[in-house]
Chains A and B, each alone.
Chain A
């Protein structure tokens, strides 16, 4: 379980994290989203005990990672955004070596199988692609059968199949009770995996909540090319214009599309390029950041 209450962290004059609070319960995948520099990695590094919080309270499995780093790390797995390997060791040798540092470690074969790297066991780390290195990272993070897993941009550089496999592993771990804190740039990844999320911008949480409820509460969009000779004010619903494309935001975009199409049919017009979209995490993300 992860509890963050009023976490603040500065580097010199720069305040990277400004009093954020959130909680993730066992078996939950919690997504922390935001642009580069939003404060996500700093938050994970404080939770993992790499940095000390300047203010606020942080608990991982009931322990303060700033004071009991070893206690926290023995029960957590961390997939860091940036961390190195020994390039001359093979994949299997790397995992074998790490098993010596990890209490109750999984067998090497099992860890590699979970990360989808079994067929690359004998390959030297220097010969792995970026995506394969992320999978090795995952194998090391899973090695100690963690109760809490921190995944900082876990699928960056992975091919689509590896991404899907990783999602499956993450879902299985959550189903078995592991608490997972995920940061990602891929909003579809967060939308598919996480049950709750928080969007960070400039060190603050600008939107948070359950994924499904938050998205359901967001407006959908209907967009189309504005017919010639028609001005936005002639339309039955308010729209915003970008180029020649009109976009109507509505709680129920299907209903709005029906109304617009009926109006067009009555006028003998065609709404070319019409697109109906329910709210996506991307809309929410951009909106949250725009309003911050």
Chain B
């Protein structure tokens, strides 16, 4: 446990020194996460549910950037710089290295989500959640699953320079599925919406909406996240690469 915490703390120190992480994960997430719902509140005042709908749609995108993409970028960079290899040369267990990094990224992302929710409550009239514990549960679980999936996704990323670009499809899918780009999904065949709901961001958004409104099932979105967690864990176990490809 001591080593696990040490890696997470170390990751945290590096995170706040990393200008790219600060500009994409932090600045972009705060800007997008607060700016878009705030703008919608101003553009369409008095329309019921508009702030919550926009907030949840954008939240799915923001968390994909801050957790999934950040995990993929960080771990690919560490892998390519052979820092993961050096960390493995210590007494650290493999799961402590990956887990510590992901705990740090997840903690930073959950913190960002709290800031976004708090600011939107203060300035854009976002309602308080009816079930705050459920909201915290879905934020923590959703962010953890997304960062774990980011770690699994590194297996298909050839080098650090393309990590962000290769994570973009997930950002787009999350945005379309959760409504972050507006009601695009309504223009598409019904089955597309059904498939996009199966994404981990789908589970997160459905769960968070139920927490805000106090209506809806919590079990199904939790099951969604649990399935994705298993998929990510198995993928990491089978395909995670500790060193860059030699050819």
Contacts and interface: CB of A to CB of B under 8 A. Distances in A.
A144 B7 CA distance: 17
B42 interface: no
A70 B88 CA distance: 9
Most A Cβ at <10 Å: residue of B14, B91, B92: B91
A67 to B, nearest CB: 13
A259 B106 CA distance: 80
B130 interface: no
B85 A84 contact: yes
Contacts of A88: 17
Contacts of B168: none
Interface string A271-291: 000000000000000000000
B198 interface: no
B165 to A, nearest CB: 22
Interface in A69-121: 70, 73-74, 78, 80, 82-86, 88, 97-98, 100-103
A68 to B, nearest CB: 11
Nearest to A48: B89
Given A82-B82, A84-B81, A73 B89 contact: yes
A97 B93 contact: no
A50 interface: yes
Contacts of B10: 97, 100
B39 interface: no
A102 B86 contact: no
A115 to B, nearest CB: 15
8 nearest CB pairs, A to B: A84-B81, A84-B82, A100-B6, A74-B91, A83-B86, A101-B90, A78-B89, A84-B83
27 contacts: A48-B89, A50-B85, A50-B88, A70-B92, A70-B93, A73-B90, A73-B91, A73-B92, A74-B91, A80-B82, A83-B82, A83-B83, A83-B86, A84-B82, A84-B86, A85-B81, A85-B83, A85-B86, A86-B14, A86-B83, A97-B13, A100-B6, A101-B87, A101-B90, A103-B91, A140-B86, A140-B89
